[in-house]
Structure 1
Amino acid sequence: MKLLQRTITAILPAPMVERMRSETNRWQVRCGACGATQPLWEAGGIRYKKTATASVSATIMACPNCGCLRDAVVERSDG
């Protein structure tokens, strides 16, 4: 768990943390170099009550598969 996740889970009530984790797990991060995907929560991200209409966004991450520090796509994994 990344620092942001540890901090938030220490501060917020457990039911809210579970809702946040569940909602975040509906998102995945896809590496721009090799195409490997992983759940956003496992990558250290949080996506909670996202209200924007776009279901895709971009970020930079170190891919655990290829080791590249590259652009990555954050996208919904359930539809």
Structure 2
Amino acid sequence: MIRIHHPFWHGSEMTLSVNGKPDVQMSHPFVGNGYNCEAVEVMRCIRSGRKESTLMPLDESLAIMETMDAFRLEWGLRYPTE
């Protein structure tokens, strides 16, 4: 299991746990604001004339959103703006 330490959206510390072995602590400096990977991919797509990423196609994004919405419905989670 990989545990990313708080805050997960820009964590620089993580712990790797493998059954029967001592935990391994890892550190990697965080650069940016949490959206660097997305921004780099958008720039790559724009430069190559693509309207959709091969790393995260629209269909996959929509499927993830539908899954998250299903969880929210099951949990009864509603946001104030809804």
TM-score with structure 1 setting the length: 0.27
Task: Look at both structures and tell me which one has the larger radius of gyration over its CA atoms.
Answer: 2
From the two aligned structures, give the one with the greater helix fraction: 2
From the two aligned structures, give the one with the greater strand fraction: 1
Larger relative contact order (Cα-Cα within 8 Å, sequence gap ≥ 6): 1
TM-score with structure 2 setting the length: 0.26
